[in-house]
Amino acid sequence: MKVKDAIIGHAIGDAFGVPLEFKTREEFINNPVTEMTEYGTHHVPKGSWSDDTSMEIATIASFIKKGKFDYDDIMQNFVKWFKNGDFSPLDYSYDVETTCGFAIYNYMKGIPALECGLNDIYSNGNGSLMRILPVALYSYYQNINEEEIVTLTNNISSLTHSHNISKLGCYIYVRFIMYLLEGLSKKQAYINIQNLNYSKYYDEETISKYNRILKDNINEYKEETINSSGYIIDSLEASLWVILNTNNFKDSIIKSTNLGGDTDTIGAITGSMAGIIYGYNEIPKEWINSLLKKDYLLNLCTKFEMLITN
């Protein structure tokens, strides 16, 4: 089973990128980062994961409690994280993505869970992409049909990000993860997501935003053309570019971080993919040992896997 590989890979990539978030690519050219560091941007200890992993495991904890994706319970967990630091490595929340913060406020004001997400063109950060991994794992191991995959992905995204650009980005990632779980090579998984028919679920204008991934070959782009911002399209492009241009877990995380920009989320997305491809045992032991609340995360992985693989 690849549940632990994906979730711990996600957390490692997140923690690796946290101290370096918002640094520019130019800053890394003469001083590349090759090991997990501490403090930095958010002044947190080595091995601290951010909102990416916190919101992901808040979703997993809800599933373990409810035995399904209960949208209200997930939002209640987001509130607990936001206000009290539950599901955080440091018992307080930090680095809260703006759109996620607004959506959580909406829920606290009594707005229904599936209506909390922001729907304007400017609310397409990577805040739903960074936490959507449990949907991919569930969808694969439960063997749900395509329409159910789309509906579930869209709904989980819409808790915070309900614009079609965000929902489609999450869906492309979910399907890529599912192809990797199937045992396909990363190149074949990429070919498969290019060959999916998206027109049944998304409008042509939205689909065209992802042309560099879906129509071109993102792996053939030069590094200087790869943006590593918090815009969902940039984050997904960067993560896929890294995965398709590296050959082991360690190099994929190092490469994703040294792109600069939104290093924690791009690291997390890259780490989830790399974890599946290369496996938990290929993650550097010193990185795993540095991960805060490692045993708590591993316990969640075990419980979640037992539920979704039965």
Please write the tens of the pLDDT for every residue from 259-307: 999 999 999 999 999 999 999 999 999 999 999 999 999 999 999 999 9
The larger pLDDT score, comparing residue 29 to residue 204, is at: 204
Q: Is 37 helix (H, G, I), strand (E, B) or coil?
A: coil
Count how many domains the chain has: 1
Which pLDDT does position 94 carry in this prediction? Answer: 75
Which pLDDT does position 40 carry in this prediction? Answer: 67
Which pLDDT does position 103 carry in this prediction? Answer: 97
Q: What is the mean pLDDT of residues 248-258?
A: 97
Residue pair 28/271 in contact by the 8 Å Cβ criterion: no
Lowest mean pLDDT among 4-8, 9-13, 94-98, 170-174: 94-98
Distance CA 265, CA 243 (A): 14
The larger pLDDT score, comparing residue 155 to residue 39, is at: 155
Residue 147 has pLDDT above 80, yes or no: yes
Which pLDDT does position 44 carry in this prediction? Answer: 86
Q: How confident is the model at residue 37 (pLDDT cuts 50, 70, 90)?
A: confident
pTM here?
Answer: 0.96
Phi-psi category of residue 119: left, alpha or beta, with phi > 0 → left and psi -120 to 50 → alpha: alpha
Which pLDDT does position 166 carry in this prediction? Answer: 98
Q: How confident is the model at residue 188 (pLDDT cuts 50, 70, 90)?
A: very high
What percentage of the chain carries pLDDT values higher than 70? Answer: 99
**Per-residue model confidence as pLDDT tens digits over 40-76:** 666 789 999 999 999 999 999 999 999 999 999 999 9
Nearest to 130 by CA among 9, 250, 14: 14
Q: Is 39 helix (H, G, I), strand (E, B) or coil?
A: strand
Vertex 67, ends 269 and 278: CA angle to 5°?
30
Which pLDDT does position 310 carry in this prediction? Answer: 84
Which pLDDT does position 91 carry in this prediction? Answer: 82
Dig out the tokens for 226 from the structure.
């790869």
CATH, residue 267: 1.10.4080.10
Q: What is the mean pLDDT of residues 192-211?
A: 96
Q: What is the mean pLDDT of residues 234-251?
A: 98
Q: Is 118 helix (H, G, I), strand (E, B) or coil?
A: strand
Residue with tokens 């969808």: 139
Which pLDDT does position 42 carry in this prediction? Answer: 64
Q: What is the mean pLDDT of residues 155-168?
A: 98
Q: What is the mean pLDDT of residues 137-164?
A: 98
State residue 239 phi and psi, 5-degree precision: -65, -45
Amino acid present at 211: N
Residue pair 285/12 in contact by the 8 Å Cβ criterion: no
Residue 79 has pLDDT above 90, yes or no: yes
Distance CA 55, CA 86 (A): 10
Residues spanned by the domain of 277: 3-308
Which pLDDT does position 38 carry in this prediction? Answer: 76
Q: How confident is the model at residue 97 (pLDDT cuts 50, 70, 90)?
A: confident
What percentage of the chain carries pLDDT values higher than 90? Answer: 89
Distance CA 97, CA 103 (A): 10
Dig out the tokens for 29 from the structure.
């050219």
